[in-house]
Structure 1
């Protein structure tokens, strides 16, 4: 037997095992699935509408966060352009393999069209990511404390340190361009390049970055919008649970913990949109909080139809509209 033949045989065995496993899980979970489908047939339209509004507000909050950051650097684009960018970039990020790279590129291109310099656009993208991750960590910590548990202070400290280092490093480099230029020479020597290679570009980049002065007011507003983005997204899940059950037999703290755990789990998967990973974590969290399995499945399916299906569809439409602007 050749190596290629053995490899094909192993893949077939693995595929067969997965089919058998899926079949067993389908049989075991069939009662819960039928219960979930029956609840999805008649969700309360009022709660569904509120969940959709919460998700739309969450996306608007993210757009407002980025707008605040750019306004602190003197770049003032209309809100609707920021909202369209938020939808389009989000869709690229969660639906394409390697999506974050495509999302970053789109953000950079559009921010340059808004009037941002290369340095300011890069700064805004980096700080947006740190603020969003820090906001999720903060919501997690608050929900852990509300549930009388011990938060992961090390993770929170790491996010705070990263934000502080980014801010201090940017300010130091813009205030001491001469020192940065002197540090460039030994780096160029290590790379066997002329000592002044890249000096003009570095000096220009530092000059552009000096325009990005994040005032306390803009910084506080951007951080508040980052937190609001996650809270409104979690509210959409809570409203979906109401829509299929008529009530929420779970505490707000436990629901927030479930929500944060689901999105934290999505950071360690390469599956676009965290499909399967987020869903499983959310269902498991709701069930452990006292929600019936069928109800939990129905609520998560409805939530993902809104937060993934509807928002992603709107995002691709937004991408089509802004890609050539």
Structure 2
């Protein structure tokens, strides 16, 4: 007769060892980093009010520059938007992008809907969103190269040249297709063959879309202004970090700070953590300490910078999003049909 007694418990020595090892590592890091951490907290409690106010101003000016860049691109297509509404959209889209999982998709959707409500056609809206992203990436690459040059490093000129060429070719290619829509006929026929549709299926929609793109007139003046605003957006945000460092009695050279800043921003693009929390901060602290800043000053400066550029700006962005939603449900509700294009466009006051 078999005896069904209680089953012996599996040994948990491996799990206990792993937990003990993790706790030991954390305790060691806490002990080793305690002086820097206490020093950072002490400096963070007493930031210089003048430098802190200047940092807030730089963060606000950075958002204004980004809104101005998108406004310039819309103006190149004949769409004029009041700066207040363009700025509200920039804040709201930024907040969605950095605080939600998959935030860039929500941000793009909000930009698309609002630009359509501003009066931009679907083609112009898509062109503006895509080009603003390209300009922003190119501007960050230029600033990285400038930081490497001023810090006596070697900028990656080939990569920078490839990026600049990509922006120019994309812009020129879109304008060429808008002028000669027949050039897309072979590609459209190939797509329809894969989809098992007639060769000319959807050609009228493509022609209409490209016809809308012909409304864009990215003159040298508009292009230069948009590129300048893209550079200002990043430079003013980097200035916010520099001012936060000075607010806690720290500071590094401009070139090295730009390199640390660009490294932090680049690190934030490869994470799904909202606002790159932990990733951007770690990269910034590492870059600043490598550049010569004291560890306590680097930690305090980065924490203060994130409070300004993340906490303060994001709070404004969510308030702007609430105002946009309220406006959508009241003043911008009814749609009217455009007499020129035959498509539905929102009424813009």
For 1:165-244, what aligned pairs fall within 5 Å after superposition?
165-244=169-248
Q: In 2, Cα distance between the equivalents of 1:106 and 1:13?
A: 49
Distance (whole Å) between structure 2 residues aligned to residue 32 and residue 155 of structure 1: 37
Q: CA deviation at 1:182?
A: 4.4
Q: 1:13 to 1:128 in 2, by over 3 A?
A: farther
2:111 equivalent in structure 1: 107
Is the deviation greater in 144-153 or in 115-124? 144-153
2:344 alignment partner in structure 1: none
| TM-score under structure 2 length normalisation | 0.86
Counterpart in the other structure of 1:304? 306
Instruction: Kindly provide the CA deviation profile for residues 43-102 of structure 1, in whole angstroms up to 9, marking residues without a partner as x.
Output: 111110000000000000000000000000000010011111111101111111111100
Q: Partner of 2:343 in structure 1?
A: none
C-alpha spacing 1:27/1:224, structure 2 compared with 1 (3 Å): same
2:51 maps to 47
Cα distance change of structure 1 residues 251 and 180 upon mapping to structure 2, 3 Å threshold: same
Structure 2 equivalent of residue 122 of structure 1: 126
Evaluate the alpha carbon distance shift between residue 48 and residue 212 of structure 1 in structure 2; reply closer, same or farther with a 3 A threshold.
same
In structure 1, how many angstroms separate the alpha carbons of the residues matched to 2:88 and 2:36? 38
1:67-106 aligned within 5 A: 67-106=71-110
Q: CA 1:180 to 1:11, structure 2 compared with 1: closer, same or farther past 3 Å? A: farther
For the aligned residues, what is the CA RMSD?
A: 2.1
Equivalent position of 1:282 in the other structure? 284
- TM-score by length of structure 1 reads 0.92
1:125 Cα deviation after fit: 0.4
Which string of whole-angstrom CA distances, capped at 9 and with x for unpartnered residues, describes residues 105-140 of structure 1?
000000001110000000000000000010010011
Structure 1 portions without partners, runs of 5+: 1-5
1:139-192 C-alpha deviation (Å, 9 max, x unpaired) = 111111111111112321232122122112201211111222343123201221
Q: CA deviation at 1:15?
A: 7.1
Q: CA offset at residue 29 of structure 1?
A: 1.1
Mapping of 1:125-140 within 5 angstroms? Answer: 125-140=129-144
Q: Matches of 1:13 and 1:75 in 2, distance apart?
A: 64
Q: What is aligned with 1:252?
A: 254
Which residue does 2:333 correspond to in 1? none
C-alpha separation in 2, matches of 1:156 and 1:308:
28
Q: List runs of 5+ in structure 2 lacking aligned partners.
A: 1-9, 329-349
Match of 1:291 in 2: 293
Residue 153 of structure 2 is aligned to residue 149 of structure 1: yes
Distance 1:23 1:193, change over 3 A: farther
Following TM superposition, by how much is the alpha carbon of 1:18 offset from its aligned partner in structure 2, in angstroms? 4.8
Q: In 2 relative to 1, CA 16–163 (structure 1 residues): closer, same or farther, beyond 3 Å?
A: farther
- Offset, 1:27: 2.3
Asked whether 1:314 is paired with 2:316, we answer yes
Q: 1:127 to 1:27 in 2, by over 3 A?
A: same
